[in-house]
Amino acid sequence: MGVALTKSVQWTTAVGFGTGTLEITPLNEAILKEIIMFVESFIYKHPQEAKYVFVEPLEWKTNLDPSAFESGYVVSATTVKSEEADKNGQPLLFLSVPQIKIRSFGQLSCLLFIAKDTKLKETQACIEANRNPVAKILGMDYNTMKEGSSVLNILDKITKEDDPESEIKMKMALLLEELDLHLLNCSLKHTSLEIRLNPVTIKKDIELLKHFSGQGEQTVLESIEYTSDYEFSNGCRAPPWRQLHGEICYVLVKPHDVETLCITCCAEGVFLNGGKTDDEGEINYERKGAIYKDLVTFLKQKSAKFSENMSKQTRLTENQQKLKDQPKKAPKKEEADALHKSITSSNKSKLENNKINLGKNQMTKRLEPNLNLKTTVDFKIRKISVRDTQEKKHGGRPEKSTPPVSPGRAQLVHKNADKTEEVTSESSSESEEDEEPTDHRQEANADLPSEYWQIQKLVKYLKGGNQTATVIALCSMRDFNLAQETCQLAIRDVGGLEVLINLLDTDEVKCKIGSLKILKEISYNPQIRRNIVDLGGLPVMVKILDSPHKILKCLAAETIANVAKFRRARRVVRHHGGITKLVALLDCAQNSAEPAQASLYDERDVEVARCGALALWSCSKSYANKEAIRKAGGIPLLAQLLKTSHENMLIPVVGTLQECASEESYRAAIKAERIIENLVKNLNSENEQLQEHCAMAIYQCAEDEETRDLVRLHGGLKPLASLLNNTDNKERLAAVTGAIWKCSISKENVTKFREYRAIETLVGLLTDQPEEVLVNVVGALGECCQEYENRVLVRKCGGIQPLVNLLVGINQALLVNVTKAVGACAVEPESMMIIDRLDGVRLLWSLLKNPHPDVKASAAWALCPCIQNAKLLLDMVGSPDQELQEAAAGCISNIRRLALATEKARYP
């Protein structure tokens, strides 16, 4: 944990110098979330270690109010003390507003539960105030911030101590070391996704420079070599802890006219480092100058001789290439001229004949010379960048947008945007984007790649108004990697989104197709999604759903599916009649209007229906849209599509049904349409995502007894039981265990699960699983243990101990289920003795103080069989087996103490 905080986390100041804070970056947020998951699950995964008292408390300023603390704490107006204390009587949690001190992981877990929505801020504040938490937890001797410290060093120090807590301390050290490695791996994966320069590009540049290096005045360099000969599997040569900073390799370069340069090649570019030290030959990684976009640009700035010789080599290479290409030059020119004539003279009917790919491949070549020129930003683009910067500072939208294709269309876009804003502002609480990040713009002086400026030049062609130039620009724009955020933001920053949305309002089908293809790709970006809604793009896309052209319907529906990821967007789609139109796309038979070409049109109609289902899946996450889908007749159409064999169609269809099945009206309709049979059938698919959604849909529907019987009658219990053996996909495992839980409410299904040996598998899933899986697993065991045979089976499989261990958790749903399961097992005397030996009765009794009424009620019911077993225990006291006598007597003693404690509480 200490190494991750020093090597991976991005601070505003260097660690150890000043009191810096965590930067607001995706990497930091990902690391904080991993730490939160670790701490939240610690209390029930490691209950003994959770009680370990830190050497020094973790202390920080909290925003929590004392009133947020309930049972288990002594609360006053400005202070809070935990009832749980160390051996000296000091509380393990002490809050004196605003300072808080915590001395155990158990209390840290409880604090995160209390913090709820502010847990991320509390974790950030804790890390900022405790730069080296491991030293405070285990002591300064185990300071993991020191270079070279490792788990072996920590364990060596712990085992030499005579402290009776050394065993727990050893386990704590191992757990923290595992967390540290996990955070480093997460950081490395996250960093690798952000690399712009990659190891392959760097390696090619270095190999090329080596080819032109050597002795002699005509060579570009005297020598160039890596500082390390070892290459990792990802192509990097930098040490792993430097790879976390995006560094790829280090190169020693000897130009003709300057001293040897030690260069760092990283994801952000190339820069001069501090060079090798004289003593140990280690590299000083500190940057000593500006960052350049590539190795050649860097060397041109540092060496005049390199720049001169490189220019000579470039001219020589170009001349040789011209001689090779000269015989082919004339035909290429004639071909381009002929293509230009055919495009400019084509009429509207030719534009609609699906030749956009030919245009794209050939017309892009005409733009390539211009795109490769050294570009400069003109005054208009600089003006737009200034406007965007002002927008960000003032938090508002501009009064005027960048001039699009025509002023009339610009006004239309803004009218639509204003209308959308009025509709979505009906309820401020509902229109908040619960998942959209804060908008940000590219800085004016940022070191942006060439693609950014090339795309901005293409946007200018889109604004020209000429149909041919617009089509060419759209095709050329799609040649870029629009999945990269840089390319997406380049389109937005120069006003390209307004132009693309305006093109959707034209009569040119090819322009609409090109625009929608680009919008579909870039709308995966959350910022772009929100911008599209702000500019009134959704109503225009909804209108396109009525188009006679099926490719337009598909593209519009897919783009709506990407954009409708937050509440305001989903409401805009509904208010403009989009739900009804999307439901109409599901009717393949209605779309098939040309019987002469049945097979071709069937395939196109299936694609239209798939895109419609995809959009409905996104929209179905709100209650109002679920009702709109039902009223539009969506359920029979979804049931019909569920019979298809196309997996890419089935996933969005089942996903939509799964979302809607949370409503009782849908569950009744699903039963009436005989959808359960097809859901069971698709459980046998090899597609994991389809299996997950089918299982989740069964989970939602199996609240009804008739549905549970249908799952059994159609053979759905066996595939559910077999899917329990595949534990790698946690999302699918949570869905499968949820379906088994609900199906286990019926006794006939429990008998089948015992036959398929599912109960033994469920017991094996009681450890090392996420909470969403544990809740379902324990719920299923609670239902199964209502029968004697299954209680015996759970006991013989060793399931009692992990169930009792889960009684110390804080998840309310998990506590309700685990108390029911323990209570069901306690009916059997032998299981009761195990529960008592594991201190399970006391844990159940303590849950009567839980603030949640469902937990208290379930704990009370679980205690009933414990007390009822007292008579059986009396009989066991007379057993000839001495061990059985002692166990029964101890259990009776515990129950007596509990009864006396209850009487004392009632009559103080």
% of the chain beyond a pLDDT of 90:
17
Confidence (pLDDT) at 894: 59
3-state secondary structure 829-873: HHHHHHHHHCCHHHHHHHHHHCCCHHHHHHHHHHHHHHHHCHHHH
The residue among 225 and 486 whose pLDDT is bigger is 225
Distance CA 167, CA 808 (A): 21
Confidence of residue 327 (pLDDT cuts 50, 70, 90): very low
Q: What is the mean pLDDT of residues 46-75?
A: 89
Structure tokens at 512: 């609409």
Q: What is the mean pLDDT of residues 316-323?
A: 63
Q: Position of tokens 């204390």? A: 85
Confidence (pLDDT) at 413: 36
Confidence (pLDDT) at 294: 86
**CA dihedral in degrees (855, 860, 866, 869; nearest 10)?**
-140
Q: What is the mean pLDDT of residues 119-136?
A: 87
Confidence (pLDDT) at 595: 41
Confidence of residue 870 (pLDDT cuts 50, 70, 90): low
Query: pLDDT at residue 13 above 70?
Result: no
3-state secondary structure 629-666: HHHCCHHHHHHHHCCCCCHHHHHHHHHHHHHHCCCHHH
Number of alpha carbons in the 13 Å side-chain half-sphere of residue 807: 26
Query: pLDDT at residue 163 above 90?
Result: no
Confidence (pLDDT) at 363: 33
Q: What is the mean pLDDT of residues 705-717?
A: 89
Q: Which of 464, 533, 466, 443 is nearest to 497 (CA)?
A: 533
Confidence (pLDDT) at 605: 82
The residue among 354 and 673 whose pLDDT is bigger is 673
Average per-residue pLDDT for the chain: 76
Other CB atoms within 10 A of residue 757 CB: 12
Q: Which of 890, 776, 775, 787 is nearest to 832 (CA)?
A: 890
Per DSSP, the residues of 707-745 read HHHHHHHTT-HHHHHHHTT--S-HHHHHHHHHHHHHHTT
Query: pLDDT at residue 102 above 90?
Result: yes
Among 95-104, 131-140, 370-379, 410-419, the least confident range: 370-379
Q: What is the mean pLDDT of residues 58-66?
A: 90
Q: What is the mean pLDDT of residues 16-23?
A: 58
Confidence (pLDDT) at 194: 54
**What is the SS3 assignment for 257?**
coil
Q: Please list, in sequence order, all residues whose beta carbon lies within 8 angstroms of the beta carbon of residue 799, skipping any fewer than 6 positions away.
A: 763, 766, 781, 825
Distance CA 772, CA 774 (A): 6
Distance CA 893, CA 897 (A): 6
Q: Position of tokens 């000593």? A: 288
Q: Which of 145, 205, 201 is nearest to 176 (CA)?
A: 145
Q: What is the mean pLDDT of residues 545-570?
A: 91
Query: pLDDT at residue 682 above 50?
Result: yes
The residue among 664 and 391 whose pLDDT is bigger is 664
Confidence (pLDDT) at 407: 32
Query: pLDDT at residue 589 above 60?
Result: no
Confidence of residue 378 (pLDDT cuts 50, 70, 90): very low
Among 234-248, 438-452, 464-478, the least confident range: 438-452
Inter-residue contact 120 to 126 (CB < 8 Å): no
Confidence (pLDDT) at 403: 35
Confidence (pLDDT) at 779: 92
Query: pLDDT at residue 853 above 60?
Result: yes
Confidence (pLDDT) at 869: 61
Inter-residue contact 590 to 584 (CB < 8 Å): yes
Among 85-89, 193-197, 556-560, 858-862, the least confident range: 193-197
Query: pLDDT at residue 775 above 80?
Result: yes
pLDDT digits (tens, 9 = 90+) for 499-544: 899 889 888 888 889 999 999 999 998 989 999 999 999 999 999 9
Confidence of residue 425 (pLDDT cuts 50, 70, 90): very low
Confidence of residue 428 (pLDDT cuts 50, 70, 90): very low
Confidence (pLDDT) at 292: 85
Confidence (pLDDT) at 427: 36
The residue among 183 and 741 whose pLDDT is bigger is 741
Per DSSP, the residues of 70-135 read -TTEEE-SSEEEES-B-TTS-BSEEEETTEEEE--HHHHHHHHHHHGGGHHHHHHHHHHH-S-HHH
The residue among 902 and 812 whose pLDDT is bigger is 812
Tell me the torsion sign for CA atoms 711, 717, 722, 728.
positive
The residue among 151 and 516 whose pLDDT is bigger is 516
CA angle 398, 402, 407 (to 5 degrees): 110
Distance CA 37, CA 32 (A): 9
Confidence (pLDDT) at 262: 93
Confidence (pLDDT) at 405: 35
Confidence (pLDDT) at 874: 61
Confidence (pLDDT) at 543: 92
Confidence (pLDDT) at 263: 94
Q: Which of 644, 587, 586, 646 is nearest to 615 (CA)?
A: 586
Confidence (pLDDT) at 658: 86
Confidence (pLDDT) at 559: 94
Confidence (pLDDT) at 116: 84
Structure tokens at 305: 């001789």
The residue among 191 and 281 whose pLDDT is bigger is 281
Beta partners for residue 271, in sequence order: 264
Confidence (pLDDT) at 899: 53
**What is the SS3 assignment for 272?**
strand
Among 5-19, 549-563, 773-787, 846-860, the least confident range: 5-19
Confidence (pLDDT) at 541: 93
Q: Tell me 807's DSSP state.
A: G
Confidence (pLDDT) at 142: 62
Confidence of residue 457 (pLDDT cuts 50, 70, 90): confident
Among 167-176, 465-474, 797-806, the least confident range: 465-474
Q: What is the mean pLDDT of residues 371-390?
A: 35
Confidence (pLDDT) at 891: 62
| CA 118 to chain CA mean position, Å | 19
